[in-house]
Amino acid sequence: MDIGFIGLGGMGRAMALNALKAGHSVRVWNRSRDATKPLAEQGATAVNTPAEAFAGEAVFSMLADDAALRAVLIDGGVLKHAQRGLIHVNMATVSIALCDELVALHEQHGVVYVAAPVLGRPDVAAAGKLNIVAAGSDEAIDRVQPVFDVIGQKTWRVGSKPQHANVFKLAANFMLASAIETTSEAASLMSGHGIDPHAFLDVITNTLFPGPVYQGYGRMIADSRYEPALFKAKLGLKDVRLAMAAAEAVNVALPMANVVRDNLIEVLAQGDGEKDFAVLGKIAARRAGRGDWSV
């Protein structure tokens, strides 16, 4: 396919590179020009403006947050000049309110909009093993499926309304945040009783709670290892807040989200926002009067 790719952070860069390696023609743009150089060396075409990326058959975007997406796509007027019938696949985690706005704007300008946030961290993206949660018209998703097939291991179609994919992703990230929080608290309980959290988490993640979340984050929490960050705490806070806003819009209470939000605010107040989401373990340890999990 002839595609554009906007947003070349850790996730976007890996996805664009996998599309390029699979033989797709890729134009790349990033607010920091330096990020395009490694991809250009692999055969991508680096363009000077987002509008230049909005060409060909489809454009994929992976921008950090609502503010970045608004600045590039809406304030920049990109959609006004996009070719009618072009498919825009937004793979970022954004608010439901912004998604509603984007759906309306794309329809107004004749651009097809697909929401396709992903489950997985940069290492998973690099391996082409992301899970893609896609919503939009089946025809549009069919057209971009060849790209999805090389950046992810499975595409989960969750409805014709793009907003539904964003709700799915926010709910998933809320569950992830809750799992990290409860793992941190459980490790604190073990440590308080003189039990090595490593031993506890080894049992738990091989019995009641197997899987990458509890095993991966459990090891990081037990090791007090929060760098390098594969998913930054400040982005986790952003997603928890978006989940809370989505819940409030339909009068759904998320009590656990309040706890995680407050703890993540404390993480940022302590200057640890750039560290991995697992740094919630540090908050639990501090609250228990321990600097780490040594017993």
DSSP string, 238-288: HHHHHHHHHHHHTT---HHHHHHHHHHHHHHHTT-TTSBGGGHHHHHHHHT
Q: How far apart are CA 103 and CA 81, in angstroms?
A: 16
Identify the pLDDT of residue 289.
85
Specify which residues 29 forms β-bridges with: 6
- Which of residues 141, 160, 179 is at a domain's end? 160
**Residues 144 and 11 placed together within one structural domain of the fold:** yes
pLDDT tens readout for residues 212-243? 999 999 999 999 999 999 999 999 999 999 99
Q: How far apart are CA 219 and CA 210, in angstroms?
A: 12
Domain count for the chain, please give it: 2
DSSP 216: I
pLDDT tens readout for residues 30-79? 999 999 999 999 999 999 999 999 999 999 999 989 999 999 999 999 99
Report CA torsion sign: 40, 117, 242, 240. negative
What is the DSSP secondary-structure string of 73-86? IIITTHHHHSPTT-
Average pLDDT in the 97-112 region? 97
**Residues 110 and 229 placed together within one structural domain of the fold:** no
Is 169 assigned a catalytic role?
yes
**Residues 8 and 141 placed together within one structural domain of the fold:** yes
Structural domain boundaries, residue 202:
166-287
pLDDT tens readout for residues 144-186? 999 999 999 999 999 999 999 999 999 999 999 999 999 999 9
**Residues 136 and 208 placed together within one structural domain of the fold:** no
Count helices and strands in the chain by DSSP H and E runs:
15, 9
Query: Is residue 267 assigned to a domain?
Result: yes
Residue 294 has pLDDT above 60, yes or no: no
- Which of residues 110, 130, 160 is at a domain's end? 160
**Residues 219 and 78 placed together within one structural domain of the fold:** no
Could you tell me the CATH number of the domain that includes residue 30?
3.40.50.720
Residue 293 has pLDDT above 90, yes or no: no
Q: How far apart are CA 225 and CA 221, in angstroms?
A: 6
Identify the pLDDT of residue 291.
67
Percentage of residues in the chain having pLDDT higher than 70: 98
Active-site choice (21, 169, 234, 282)? 169
Pick from 197, 177, 267, 170: nearest CA to 226: 267
With 0.75 as the threshold, say if the pTM is over it: yes
**Residues 142 and 265 placed together within one structural domain of the fold:** no
Identify the pLDDT of residue 290.
75
Could you tell me the CATH number of the domain that includes residue 244?
1.10.1040.10
- Which of residues 160, 176, 194 is at a domain's end? 160
**Residues 257 and 206 placed together within one structural domain of the fold:** yes
Query: Is residue 173 assigned to a domain?
Result: yes
> How high does pLDDT run on average in the chain?
95
